[in-house]
């Protein structure tokens, strides 16, 4: 059974107050940010701070992630080299352009894990796969570039800036065509690669009702979690991405019914008044896996 990643919460690297608050949140994982949340002239000095946080703070059951700088820039490789000793669970990779960027990171981790006595392949990757137009076009190969990849997300603000989009939502708050396309292909590419699909951040931090609607839309699209940027967002995200008790009970009953019928060689039958077959079983198992029940 994989880790639950309903909510991954961003914490600006070097901000002690925000980290202390984050360590009280019910987030499934924390992302210590060395990229966009850190001023350019502070990035190098922030690495040892993040390394110290990872080494000395108690994260409990939360996954410990570091958002590195792009591997194709001047900072990415050093971000890995200077934080790996603290053994984060993985790295959040911004702006991958193509599979070669992901493979370069994976190869660097191969060397660093061997050097520091870290089990080979244990350092995972979450890719923010649509922050450039090139990355969006290459998302299928990016998502499957390395077995270290466990999740992919999509980025709307960087993509909008890269393409010069004047806005990314309409007057009613719905995504316009290009962001909507990026969101859709992220969900599809994650499913094709067999990894988690994480919805992008919701930037209107005061609009929790809007956040809830967006989370519900994401669940319907097959996303398994969402990235948060404010503490108040985490409970809403967890609530929406946690399957309802009634849905879980039905899924367990359905799996048990399939097992019983399979013993008799029957793979399509009536369940609660409707016909079910293999796709219904697959959907039920995915629901249970998302809840950590299988």
pLDDT tens for 269-294 read 999 999 988 888 888 888 887 777 55
Q: Is the pLDDT of residue 40 over 90?
A: yes
Which tokens belong to 22? 């984050």
Residue 5 CA to residue 30 CA, distance in Å, equals: 10
Q: Does domain 7-241 have CATH number 3.20.20.60?
A: yes
* pLDDT confidence bin for 25, thresholds 50/70/90: very high
- Give me Rg for the CA atoms of the chain: 20
Which phi and psi (to 5°) does residue 239 adopt? -65, -45
The predicted model gives 80-109 an average pLDDT of 98
The pLDDT of residue 293:
56
Number of alpha carbons in the 13 Å side-chain half-sphere of residue 111: 8
Residue pair 102/126 in contact (Cβ under 8 Å)? The answer is: no
* pLDDT confidence bin for 2, thresholds 50/70/90: low
Q: Is the pLDDT of residue 87 over 90?
A: yes
The pLDDT of residue 7:
97
Q: How do the domains of the chain map onto residue ranges? A: 7-241, 245-289
The pLDDT of residue 145:
98
Residue pair 73/113 in contact (Cβ under 8 Å)? The answer is: no
Residue 289 CA to residue 256 CA, distance in Å, equals: 15
pLDDT tens for 178-229 read 999 999 999 999 999 999 999 999 999 999 999 999 999 999 999 999 999 9
Number of alpha carbons in the 13 Å side-chain half-sphere of residue 258: 18
pLDDT tens for 122-171 read 999 999 999 999 999 999 999 999 999 999 999 999 999 999 999 999 99
Q: Is the pLDDT of residue 48 over 50?
A: yes
The pLDDT of residue 249:
87
C-alpha dihedral, 202 to 206 to 208 to 213, nearest 10°: -50
Tell me which of 245 and 206 has the higher pLDDT.
206
The pLDDT of residue 106:
98
Residue pair 264/236 in contact (Cβ under 8 Å)? The answer is: no
Q: Is the pLDDT of residue 80 over 70?
A: yes
């Amino acid at each position: 059974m994989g880790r639950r990643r309903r909510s991954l919460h961003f914490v600006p690297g070097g901000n002690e107050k925000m980290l202390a608050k984050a360590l009280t949140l019910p987030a499934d994982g924390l992302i210590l940010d060395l990229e966009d949340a850190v001023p350019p002239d502070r990035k190098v000095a922030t690495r040892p701070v993040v390394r110290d946080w990872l080494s000395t703070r108690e994260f409990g059951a939360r996954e410990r992630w570091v958002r590195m700088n792009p591997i194709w820039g001047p900072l990415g490789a050093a971000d890995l080299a200077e934080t790996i000793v603290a053994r984060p669970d993985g790295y959040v990779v911004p702006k991958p352009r193509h599979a070669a960027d992901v493979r370069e990171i994976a190869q660097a981790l191969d060397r660093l894990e061997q050097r520091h006595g870290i089990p080979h392949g244990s350092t995972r990757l979450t890719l923010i796969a649509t922050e450039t137009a090139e990355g969006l076009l290459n998302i299928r190969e990016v998502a499957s570039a390395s077995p270290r990849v466990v999740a992919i997300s999509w980025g709307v603000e960087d993509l909008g800036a890269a393409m010069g989009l004047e806005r990314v939502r309409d007057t009613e708050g719905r995504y316009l065509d290009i962001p909507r396309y990026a969101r859709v292909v992220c969900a599809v590419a994650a499913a094709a690669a067999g990894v988690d699909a994480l919805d992008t951040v919701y930037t209107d931090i005061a609009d929790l009702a809007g956040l809830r609607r967006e989370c519900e839309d994401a669940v319907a699209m097959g996303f398994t979690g969402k990235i948060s940027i404010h503490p108040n967002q985490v409970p809403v995200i967890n609530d929406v991405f946690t399957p309802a008790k009634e849905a879980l009970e039905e899924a367990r009953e359905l799996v048990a019914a399939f097992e019983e019928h399979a013993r008799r060689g029957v793979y399509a039958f009536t369940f609660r008044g409707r016909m079910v077959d293999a796709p219904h079983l697959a959907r039920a198992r995915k629901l249970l896996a998302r809840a950590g029940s299988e």
